[in-house]
Structure 1
Amino acid sequence: QAHTTRSSQRCLAFVDDVRCSNPSLPMTRHCLTHICQDVNQTLFKPCQGSEEVPCNKPVPVSLAEEPCCPLHLRLPPQMYVPEQGLPGPAELDAAPAELYLSAAELQPSESLPLEFSD
């Protein structure tokens, strides 16, 4: 039987002999929770999880070989490594007093026109 396009169709999955009450995804007969029970669909795969925490949440198929849910997503290694020679915030606060300008030094020494040229 062909899939219907009605958006009000309920999921066909049963959990403990009770039919799921969630609406089915468009063009399917299952909701997002049970979409992997549809053997004909190819847009979702179950998350592989990890050895410590198994998982079967449906995740969209992507370019990754084994798509994972956000909980089990493996992040790539950090690309940026901060330089070791840069001073930390505590070192910046301890600047010598001669680096500060007095009020007289902050006054402009000549008058500049307020016009801007292109």
Structure 2
Amino acid sequence: MVVQKFEDLVAWQKARLLTKRIYLLTASEVFSRDYGLKGQIQRAAVSVMSNIAEGFERSGLPEFHQFLVIAKGSCAEVRSQLYIALDIGYISEAEFDEASLLAEEVGKIIGGLRSSIKRQI
């Protein structure tokens, strides 16, 4: 399959699922009242998919690579903030496991794409 637009990228598709999962988790009554953490984890999740999209639409592979670096970092930020949400009781262990595994998967996919792009540079 030829990738013609950022929506074709598996990394972006999975990042979209991660963002949806984060928004659903932060909609719970207790989580939604913590404006700081809620906003930060939402922004980090949005950053993952947005940086993949923006990088893809930029002028060249070096820029795309840099945006993937940022997206992968944002993915790690989401994972770290999920630990906070778990530790203070905003999410259950099962919710943490599901979201954390998805974030880890997204990070690995971005890492693979980043390596592929780097080889082409």
TM-score range, shorter chain: under 0.3
> Which one has the bigger helix percentage?
2
TM-score by length of 1: 0.20
TM-score under structure 2 length normalisation: 0.19
Q: Which protein is bigger by CA-based radius of gyration?
A: 1
| Greater strand content | 1
